[in-house]
Amino acid sequence: MSTSVELTRFRVTPENTDAMLAARPAMLADFHADRSGFLGARLVRLPDDEWLDVVEWRTAEDFAASRAKGANRPGIATFFATIDALVSAEEGVLADGE
């Protein structure tokens, strides 16, 4: 079984950065509680107010099911509300570490 990786690049305005970082733990807790196959996530700060969220899923089907749920829990909705713009979203398969 291959681990699916979600790569989401987004922009957060400087005035929303602290709120986004403060909302992150509750968002992750909601993902652990509500998203089957969620393995973990890492947030990477990039230049120009952009961020990259690297999320690992047990399967591509788990990722698709999560995407269908959207911001269905308060912690997820609060985190998503801090995002100013979606830059890109991709899905891949982990090539090492399996």
The whole-model pTM stands at 0.92
> Which pLDDT tens digit goes with each residue over 20-57?
999 999 999 999 999 999 999 999 999 999 999 999 99
Q: Residue 5: is its pLDDT beyond 60?
A: yes
Our count of domains for the chain comes to 1
Q: What is d(CA 8, CA 97) in angstroms, rounded to the nearest whole number? A: 21
In a domain, 98, yes or no: no
In a domain, 96, yes or no: no
What CATH number corresponds to the domain at position 54? 3.30.70.100
Paired tokens of 10: 């987004």
The per-residue pLDDT for 53 is 98
The per-residue pLDDT for 2 is 85
